[in-house]
């Protein structure tokens, strides 16, 4: 998402998808600091349930411009 590139803090979005992989809704779930933000998996799944989503894509920006996933990024992805 090109609109994330100019932000000065980390923003976490979830893209909720229907069974055909089409976007149902984009939700901003958090705004953090210059190098971190928190993600509450309960909220991610709550909205998936409310929207009857078949899947979702979790995205966030790196204000530093370094696209390399941090250790925290990898841990959250695994969880």
Tell me the pLDDT tens digit for each residue of 9-25: 899 999 999 999 999 99
pTM: 0.83
Of 53, 72, 52, 54, residue with least CA distance to 62? 72
In the 8-state DSSP scheme, what is residue 5? T
Q: Which tokens go with 29?
A: 């779930």
User: Residue 71 — left, alpha, or beta (φ > 0 → left; ψ -120 to 50 → alpha)?
Assistant: alpha
Q: Which tens digits make up the pLDDT trace of 57-75?
A: 998 888 887 888 888 888 8
Evaluate whether 31 touches 37 at the Cβ level (below 8 Å).
yes
């Amino acid at each position: 998402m090109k609109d994330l590139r100019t932000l000065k803090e980390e923003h976490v979005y979830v893209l909720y998808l229907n069974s055909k992989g089409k976007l149902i809704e984009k939700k901003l779930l958090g705004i953090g600091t210059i190098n971190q933000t928190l993600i509450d998996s309960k909220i991610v799944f709550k909205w998936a349930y409310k929207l009857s989503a078949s899947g979702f894509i979790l995205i966030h920006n790196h204000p530093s411009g370094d696209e390399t996933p941090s250790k925290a990024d990898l841990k959250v992805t695994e969880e």
